């Protein structure tokens, strides 16, 4: 039996047909362009240019990062301040062989303040949730940011070394001790007055007004309860 010879594909014919198809498509495109120019003139050319010069897509901004950047600029945000005047008596004895021979007393009037707020520098994108046009922020718990005695407005009210002046001359030491005790009293009073809770409430309002991001119409701020040990750090 003779084997049938399989005919080889005519490569030249295929290329010729493909060339004719492309040529025909090019002619059709040319006809369409000429017809459009004849009907619309310059307007057709303007439309054609705008088609090939389409504007690139607008860059997308990660809203959560923008919110965090705006809020973190405030760093340690003070939202509550407690001021108070404290009267602190201090004293020190002078003794010889265990026998007190004189006592020095100092009465100090201290004016001080305690600041509380939230540390916004610790805020991260994980603390921000954006859903549609609403941004939800979870703030760090409030804490005592600073406490100090206003030395310029404080003074020694009385300094007495006893009837015979036998008490030790330790005014600087007693004054320093009085300032330390006054600061403790002022902090205890501030915590009893609810300074951390007030800081939380005001932080919610301040941060809500602080966030101004395109596309965000509503800002929900969640706060956390203060640490149980925050007011015990005396």
Residue 113's pLDDT is what?
95
3-state SS, the chain, equals CCCCCCCCCCHHHHHHHHHHHHHHHHHHHHHHHHHHHHHHCHHHHHHHHHHHCCCCCCCCCCHHHHHHHHHHCCCEEEEEEEEEEEEEEEEEEEEECCEEEEEEEEEEEEEEEEEEEEEHHHCCHHHEEEECCEEEEECCCCEEEEEEECHHHCEEEEEECCCCCCCCCCHHHHHHHHHHHHHHHHHHHHHHCCHHHHHHHHHHHHHHHHCCCCCCCEEEEECCCCCCCHHHCC
Half-sphere exposure of 79 (CA within 13 A, CB side): 25
Q: What is the pTM of this model?
A: 0.66
Q: Which residue, chain included where needed, has tokens 């493909």?
A: 18
Residues in the chain, overall count: 234
Domain limits, the chain: 72-227
pLDDT at 166 over 60: yes
Confidence at residue 78, expressed as pLDDT on a 0 to 100 scale: 86
* pLDDT tens column, 64-123: 565 556 555 556 788 899 999 999 999 999 999 989 999 999 999 999 999 999 988 888
Q: What is the pLDDT of residue 110?
A: 96
Identity of the highest mean pLDDT range in 13-17, 63-67, 80-84, 228-232: 80-84
Q: What is the pLDDT of residues 177-226, one digit of tens each?
A: 999 999 999 999 999 999 999 999 998 888 888 777 656 788 889 999 99
Residue 37's pLDDT band, with cuts at 50, 70 and 90, is: very low
First to last CA, the chain: 111
Cβ pair 110, 178 in contact under 8 A:
yes
Average pLDDT over residues 17-35: 47
What per-residue confidence (pLDDT) applies to 132?
A: 83
> Tokens standing for 234?
């005396």
Q: What is the pLDDT of residues 168-190, one digit of tens each?
A: 999 999 999 999 999 999 999 99
- Which residues partner with 220 through β-bridges? 136
The residues, any chain, with a CB within 8 Å of residue 228's CB and separated by 6 or more, are none
Rounded distance, CA 54 to CA 85, Å? Answer: 70
Separation CA 111–CA 120 (nearest Å): 29
């Amino acid at each position: 039996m003779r084997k049938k010879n399989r005919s080889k594909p005519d490569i030249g014919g295929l290329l010729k047909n493909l060339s004719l198809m492309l040529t025909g498509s090019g002619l059709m495109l040319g006809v369409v362009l000429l017809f459009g120019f004849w009907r619309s003139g310059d307007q057709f050319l303007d439309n054609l240019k705008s088609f090939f010069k389409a504007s690139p897509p607008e860059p997308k901004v990660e809203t959560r990062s923008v919110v965090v950047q705006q809020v973190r600029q405030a760093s340690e945000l003070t939202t509550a301040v407690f001021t108070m005047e404290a009267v602190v008596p201090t004293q020190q004895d002078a003794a010889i062989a265990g026998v007190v021979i004189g006592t020095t007393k100092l009465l100090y009037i201290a004016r001080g303040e305690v600041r509380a707020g939230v540390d916004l520098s610790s805020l991260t994108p994980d603390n921000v949730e954006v859903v549609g046009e609403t941004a939800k922020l979870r703030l760090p718990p409030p804490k005592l940011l600073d406490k100090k005695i206003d030395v310029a407005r404080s003074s020694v009210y009385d300094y007495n070394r006893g009837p015979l002046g036998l008490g030790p001359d330790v005014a600087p030491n007693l004054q320093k001790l009085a300032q330390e005790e006054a600061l403790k009293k002022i902090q205890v009073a501030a915590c009893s007055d609810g300074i951390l809770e007030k800081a939380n409430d005001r932080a919610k309002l301040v941060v809500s007004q602080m966030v101004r991001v395109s596309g965000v119409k509503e800002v929900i701020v969640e706060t956390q309860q203060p640490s149980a040990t925050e007011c015990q750090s005396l």
